[in-house]
Amino acid sequence: MPPLLIIAAALAVLFILGAGIALVMTSGQTAVDERMEQFVSTTVGVNLPESVDTVDGPDMADRLDKVLSRRNMFEPIKERISRADAKLRVTEYIFLVFICGGLGGFLGYVLPQQNSWVLAIVGILVGLRVPRFYVRTMAKRRMQAFDGQLSDTLNLWVNALRSGYSVLQSMEAIATELPAPVSVEFERVVQEVRLGLSVEQALANMYRRVPSEDLDLVITAVNIQREVGGNLAEVLDTISFTIRERVRIKGEIRTLTAQGRVSGWIISLLPIALGFVLFLINPEYVSELWVREDPWIFPQIIPCGWVVIGFSLMMIGAGAYAISKIVNIEV
């Protein structure tokens, strides 16, 4: 690859990366206001003045986001972003996906000693998955934190109801007293109710953002109480006890299966570590796997060693996945 072409490609990647960072930095200041404005105008039916749109006029990111928000195909992206509570819009997320894909393809093509389009394609595929993996990881951590705080949330809710608070006032107390992410979610519920939604609809929106089984049980109890009546404090107290027992049982199961999880990690990483040690001891012997010499799987395309490495990694991944499923016991 000519050096001039490498420099041009590097400058193009840096330009795209800088544009993406600038787009993210300039659009984060009114993300909540824009979402609430869209919520009010589309769900409740209240028409806001045109001056509320933006102070300086809508930028390109705003226009693209409004266009993409009308497409049903982008609903899963919006749902993933909301579950992770990421300060991103749909356009920003898509832009970051293309940036990571282009950067991964560029690095996969340039970094090896001999430029390879196969590695470039692999780098593009890996780069495209990086933003989704990050958002999914953040959403999983957020839901785990929410489940960990749910028992304390129910205790505060029960005490507020027994003190004479209404359901909405109890949720306001939860939003004020408890830390995130519980406080953030209940604050959104209170804001949506004040904007005109019913409590049932606001709680359903919260469940879409935090799809927790324990939260579903709580929401079902609240909806039934609002329809047929009853002592909501006693019901929530019982649910809180059930959740605490479930958390205790999960902790015991996690302790009992700790040895299996560690064994799975060791068995999965041992072949990779052994290959790295062999490469340090005798690099010429191991490097035969990726040297562009005979034999070839396809004519002058893929050396046989690459297929061996790929198949080995696939088998290691399959074994690690099987072990994780065995030791993962649902309660």
pLDDT tens profile 191-213: 999 998 898 999 999 999 999 88
Question: What is the model's pLDDT at position 183?
Answer: 92
DSSP bridge partners of 296:
303
Indicate the number of domains in the chain: 3
Would you give the DSSP letter of residue 114? S
Domain extent for 310: 258-327
Q: Do 11 and 127 reside in the same domain of the chain?
A: yes
Which range of 16-20, 56-60, 217-221 scores highest in mean pLDDT? It is 217-221
Instruction: Give yes or no for a contact between 117 and 200, defined as CB atoms under 8 angstroms apart.
Output: no
Q: Do 12 and 131 reside in the same domain of the chain?
A: yes
**What would the mean pLDDT of 267-290 be, rounded to a whole number?**
83
Question: What is the model's pLDDT at position 295?
Answer: 54
The least confident of 47-61, 73-87, 99-113 is 47-61
Q: Return the ∠ at Cα 100 (arms to 108 and 133), rounded to 5°.
A: 110
**What would the mean pLDDT of 315-320 be, rounded to a whole number?**
86
Rounded CA-CA distance 121/104 in Å is 9
Rounded CA-CA distance 168/222 in Å is 11
Which range of 3-7, 56-60, 172-176, 286-290 scores highest in mean pLDDT? It is 172-176
Question: What is the model's pLDDT at position 322?
Answer: 86
Q: Is the pLDDT of residue 278 over 80?
A: yes
Please tell me the total number of residues recorded for the chain in this structure. Answer: 331
Q: Do 157 and 130 reside in the same domain of the chain?
A: no
Question: What is the model's pLDDT at position 160?
Answer: 92
**What would the mean pLDDT of 277-293 be, rounded to a whole number?**
77
SS3 for 192?
helix
Rounded CA-CA distance 27/31 in Å is 7
If one compares 6 and 264, the residue with the highest pLDDT of the two is: 264
For residue 182, what pLDDT band results from cuts at 50, 70 and 90? Answer: very high
Q: Which of 90, 106, 137 is the last residue before a domain boundary?
A: 137
pLDDT tens profile 131-165: 889 999 999 999 989 988 998 999 999 999 999 99
CATH number of the CATH domain containing 221: 1.20.81
Residue 244's Cβ-side half-sphere holds a number of Cα atoms within 13 Å equal to 11
Rounded CA-CA distance 178/176 in Å is 6
For residue 22, what pLDDT band results from cuts at 50, 70 and 90? Answer: very low
Q: Do 189 and 119 reside in the same domain of the chain?
A: no
- The DSSP H or E segment spanning 131 is helix 117-162
Question: What is the model's pLDDT at position 81?
Answer: 85
Question: What is the model's pLDDT at position 261?
Answer: 85
| Cis peptide leading into residue 179 (ω within 30°) | no
* Paired tokens of 327: 């030791």
Question: What is the model's pLDDT at position 122?
Answer: 80
pLDDT tens profile 62-88: 666 666 656 666 778 888 888 888 888
SS3 for 303?
strand
Q: Do 72 and 172 reside in the same domain of the chain?
A: no
Q: Do 109 and 198 reside in the same domain of the chain?
A: no
Q: Which of 102, 137, 172 is the last residue before a domain boundary?
A: 137
